[in-house]
A and B are shown apart, each in its own frame.
Chain A
Amino acid sequence: MFKLAITNDGNSTFSIANVAGHFKKVLADITLPIVGLVIFLGLWSLVAKSIDTSLGQFPGPSQVLEQTYSLIDEHNVQQDKAEQFYERQHKRNEARLAQDPTYEAKVRPFTGAPTFFDQIWTSLYTVAVGFLIASFIAVPLGIVCGLSKSVYSAINPLIQLFKPVSPLAWLPLVTMVVSAAYVSDDPIFAKSFITSAFTVSLCCLWPTLINTAVGVSSIDKDLINVSKVLRLNAFTHVMKIVLPSSIPLIFTGLRLSLGIGWMVLIAAEMLAQNPGLGKFVWDEFQNGSSESLARIMVAVLAIGMIGFVLDRLMLVLQKYVSWDKTAVLR
C-alpha cells in the first residue's frame, strides 16, 4: 500500500486514507483489550486489599507476579539439582565401570519434588491421553449414530443420561475399578494417572459424540443421492462424503470436549492425587503458608491460559484439516 502511495500520485490520498484507516483499526484491536485488562487488574488489586483471610490478605496482581517469578526460580533450582544429580551418578558409574568391567550401570531417576512446570506438563499429558481415548471412541460412534437412525435412537437415552454426570461422581467408581483391574508388578502408568485420564475420557466423550452425530445426520441429501447413484461402498461413502461434510461440527465437538476435559482434569487430579496442576492447587491449599493463595492464583491463571491455547491449537488443526479454507472460524 505504501508502495502504491509513492509510485502513483493519483491514488496517494486514497491510499494514505486507507492506511490511516487500517492503522486505526489495528490500534482499536490492540488498545481495547489492553484497556479491558488494565481495568480488570485495577479492580482486582483494589478488591484484593479489602479481603482478609486466615492465610493473610487475598493476593493482588503484584503478589501473583512475585510468586510467578519464585515458581520459575524454584523450577530452575530444581533443574540444576537434577543435572548435578545425573552428573554425579554418571561419574560414579564410570568410575565403577573402570574398576569392574562386568558392572552393570544402574541409572536412578532424580526424585526431587516436581515443580510447578513439571505439574503443568503432567496435566497436559494426562488430558491429552484422556481426550484422545474419548475422541477415538466418540468420533466413530458419532458417525455410526449419524448414519443410522436406529442406532441413534438406541444410544440417545444413554447419552442423555450420562452427559450431565459430574466427574466427581465418576471418580470414586473409576478409582475402584482401576485399582481392581490394573494390577501389575511393574506398572508403566501410575494408577492415579489412569484414574484421572479415564475420568477425563468419560466426561469429554459426549460433546464430540453428539456433535458428530448431528453433523453426519445433516449432510446434504443431494450428496447422499450422488453417493447412492455412484454406489459408493460404506467406507468410501464415509471417507469421501460423510467426513468432509461433517468436519466443522466434529471439530466443534472436539473443542467443547477438550475444554471440558481440561476443567475436569483439575478436579480429578485434586481428588485422585495424580501429580498435576490440580494436585499443585490442593497441596498449596493444604500447605497454608502466607504465599499459598498467590501461588494458587498463579495456577488459576496458568490453567486459564493453557485452556485458551489448547482451544486455539484445535482451531489451527481444524483450519488445516478443513476443506473450506474461506470459512471464518472462531
Chain B
Amino acid sequence: MNDKKPHLELTQVGIDFPTPKGPFNALTDVNLKISEGEFISLIGHSGCGKSTVLNIVAGLHQATVGGVILDNLEVNEPGPERAVVFQNHSLLPWLSVYKNVELAVKQTRGGRNKKEIREWVEHNLELVHMSHAVDKLPSEISGGMKQRVGIARALSMEPKVLLMDEPFGALDALTRAHLQDSLMEIHADLGNTVIMITHDVDEAVLLSDRIVMMTNGPSATIGEILEVELARPRNRIALADNPEYNHYRHEVLTFLYEKQRKVESVSEHRKNQNKTQDKRSVDAA
C-alpha cells in the first residue's frame, strides 16, 4: 500500500484552539497516509477531535502545526474536490432537492451546458435513489432522505475525497442500515476516497478498509489503525456470523472500552460535557 506516493497525506497535524485560559491543544501528531479509493473510518470517544481532523482535511480549520497534502497540493482552504457530507445534512432549506444539487453542480462544472447539468443532477439523485422527490423542499422529506440528498450533492462535485461527518448519526437504525448499503454500492461504483467519522463500531467494520482509532483528548492523536480485510461486496447478514468480522469488532471495542476507556463518575461526566460544549463554542467562534 505504501509503495506508491499517497493520495492524501496528513503529516504531524496538530491544532490549538485559543481560549481565554490560553491555547487548548486539541490534536497532536496526527500522521495518516491514504491511498486512492480507500474507505477510512475515524472512530473515538466524543470530544476526541475526530471532527477536527475532518475539518482540517476539508480546509474549514487550519492546522496549527503540520499539514495536509492532496495529490501533491497543500490543503489550505475549503474546496469542492474535498466535498463534505455534514452530520445534519445542511441542505439549503429554501431550495428544492433538485436545486440543492444543481447549485453544487453549477459551481463545480462551469463547462457543462444546460442539458448536461440537468442530466448530471438527475444522475446523482438517481445514485442515492432520490429521483422521486426532486421538487420537494428539504422540510418535506424525511431525515434519511435529506442525508441521501446531502450525499448526492457531495458526489455531484466529483470530489477526490468524500468527507463524511457522522453522516448517519441522527438516523434510526433501519434507515441507517439502508443508507450504509447504498453508500457501499456507490463506493464500489465510483471508487471515491472516503473519510467517514462514526461512533458506530458495526458501521466502521462493515464499511471501512481501515479503521483509524483516536485516543481521548486533549492532545488527541491516532491510537491504532486496524486494517479490515473482509472481501467486498460485504453483506451485513452474512457477516453477522463471520468470525473474522466479529474479531474486528472485538478489536475496536477493546480499543474503545479498555485501552481508551473513559473512566468517569457522573459528576465528572457532566464536567466533561461542559468542556466539550466550551470547545464547541470555541469552534463556533
Other contacts beyond A225-B60, A229-B58, A230-B157: 15, CB < 8 A = A221-B284, A225-B58, A225-B86, A226-B92, A228-B59, A228-B60, A229-B78, A230-B103, A230-B108, A231-B78, A231-B107, A240-B92, A241-B92, A244-B94, A324-B93
Cβ contacts A to B, 25 pairs, < 8 Å:
A220-B90, A221-B284, A222-B86, A223-B92, A225-B90, A226-B86, A226-B92, A228-B59, A228-B60, A228-B78, A229-B60, A229-B82, A229-B84, A230-B104, A230-B107, A231-B78, A231-B80, A232-B107, A240-B92, A240-B95, A240-B103, A244-B92, A244-B94, A323-B94, A324-B93
Residues on the B chain within 8 Å of A232, using CB: 107
Question: Which residues of B (61-117) have their CB < 8 Å from a CB of A?
Answer: 77-80, 82-84, 86, 88, 90, 92-95, 103-104, 107-108
Residues on the B chain within 8 Å of A225, using CB: 58, 60, 78, 84, 86, 90
- The residue in B82, B107, B284 that gathers the most chain A C-beta atoms within 10 A of its C-beta is B107
Q: How far is the CB of A132 from chain B (nearest CB, A)?
A: 25
Of all A-B residue pairs in the complex, the 4 with the closest CB atoms, nearest first, are A323-B94, A222-B90, A228-B78, A244-B94
Q: Are B93 and A323 in contact (CB under 8 A)?
A: yes
Chain B, 141-182, contact with A by CB distance < 8 Å: what is the 0/1 string? 000000000000000010000000000000000000000000
Q: Are A226 and B80 in contact (CB under 8 A)?
A: no
Q: Are B103 and A229 in contact (CB under 8 A)?
A: no
Residues on the A chain within 8 Å of B80, using CB: 229-231
Residues on the B chain within 8 Å of A244, using CB: 92, 94
Q: How far is the CB of B250 from chain A (nearest CB, A)?
A: 35
Residues on the A chain within 8 Å of B94, using CB: 244-245, 323-324
Residues on the A chain within 8 Å of B79, using CB: 229, 231
Q: Which of A226, A231, A240 contacts B90 (CB 8 A)?
A: A226
- The residue in A220, A226, A229, A326 that gathers the most chain B C-beta atoms within 10 A of its C-beta is A229
Residues on the A chain within 8 Å of B157, using CB: 230
Count CB-based A-B contacts (< 8 Å). 55
Residues on the A chain within 8 Å of B82, using CB: 229
**CA A220 to CA B90, docked complex, whole Å:** 9
Question: Which residues of A (226-260) have their CB < 8 Å from a CB of B?
Answer: 226, 228-232, 236, 240-241, 244-245
Residues on the B chain within 8 Å of A231, using CB: 78-80, 107
Please count how many residues in chain A sit with their CB below 8 Å of the partner chain's CB atoms.
19
Q: Is the interface of A mostly helix, strand, loop or mixed?
A: helix
**CA A240 to CA B78, docked complex, whole Å:** 18
**CA A310 to CA B88, docked complex, whole Å:** 39
- The residue in A226, A244, A323 that gathers the most chain B C-beta atoms within 10 A of its C-beta is A226
**CA A240 to CA B79, docked complex, whole Å:** 18
Residues on the A chain within 8 Å of B90, using CB: 220, 222-223, 225-226
Residue of B nearest to A220 (CB): B90
Q: How far is the CB of B279 from chain A (nearest CB, A)?
A: 15
Q: How far is the CB of A32 from chain B (nearest CB, A)?
A: 34
Question: Which residues of A (80-95) have their CB < 8 Å from a CB of B?
Answer: none
Q: How far is the CB of A297 from chain B (nearest CB, A)?
A: 46
Q: How far is the CB of A181 from chain B (nearest CB, A)?
A: 43
Chain A, 174-208, contact with B by CB distance < 8 Å: what is the 0/1 string? 00000000000000000000000000000000000
**CA A226 to CA B59, docked complex, whole Å:** 12
**CA A228 to CA B88, docked complex, whole Å:** 17
Q: How far is the CB of A312 from chain B (nearest CB, A)?
A: 24
Q: Are A222 and B88 in contact (CB under 8 A)?
A: yes
**CA A226 to CA B93, docked complex, whole Å:** 13
Q: How far is the CB of A149 from chain B (nearest CB, A)?
A: 10
Residues on the A chain within 8 Å of B58, using CB: 225, 229
Q: How far is the CB of A237 from chain B (nearest CB, A)?
A: 11
Residue of A nearest to B86 (CB): A222
Residues on the A chain within 8 Å of B95, using CB: 240
Q: How far is the CB of B71 from chain A (nearest CB, A)?
A: 17
Q: Are A229 and B83 in contact (CB under 8 A)?
A: yes
Residue of A nearest to B284 (CB): A221
Residues on the B chain within 8 Å of A221, using CB: 284
**CA A326 to CA B79, docked complex, whole Å:** 34
**CA A220 to CA B95, docked complex, whole Å:** 15
**CA A236 to CA B86, docked complex, whole Å:** 21
Residues on the B chain within 8 Å of A226, using CB: 84, 86, 90, 92
Residues on the A chain within 8 Å of B139, using CB: 324, 326
Q: How far is the CB of A225 from chain B (nearest CB, A)?
A: 6
Residues on the A chain within 8 Å of B86, using CB: 222, 225-226
Residues on the A chain within 8 Å of B77, using CB: 228
Residues on the B chain within 8 Å of A324, using CB: 93-94, 139
Residues on the A chain within 8 Å of B83, using CB: 229
**CA A217 to CA B79, docked complex, whole Å:** 23
**CA A221 to CA B79, docked complex, whole Å:** 17
- The residue in B82, B103, B137, B157 that gathers the most chain A C-beta atoms within 10 A of its C-beta is B103
Residue of B nearest to A247 (CB): B94
Q: How far is the CB of A44 from chain B (nearest CB, A)?
A: 47
Residues on the B chain within 8 Å of A241, using CB: 92
**CA A39 to CA B107, docked complex, whole Å:** 62
Residue of A nearest to B90 (CB): A222
Residue of A nearest to B83 (CB): A229
**CA A231 to CA B157, docked complex, whole Å:** 11
Residues on the B chain within 8 Å of A245, using CB: 94
Residue of A nearest to B150 (CB): A226
**CA A244 to CA B137, docked complex, whole Å:** 14
**CA A326 to CA B139, docked complex, whole Å:** 10
**CA A53 to CA B80, docked complex, whole Å:** 76
Q: How far is the CB of A150 from chain B (nearest CB, A)?
A: 15
Q: How far is the CB of A221 from chain B (nearest CB, A)?
A: 6
**CA A53 to CA B263, docked complex, whole Å:** 83
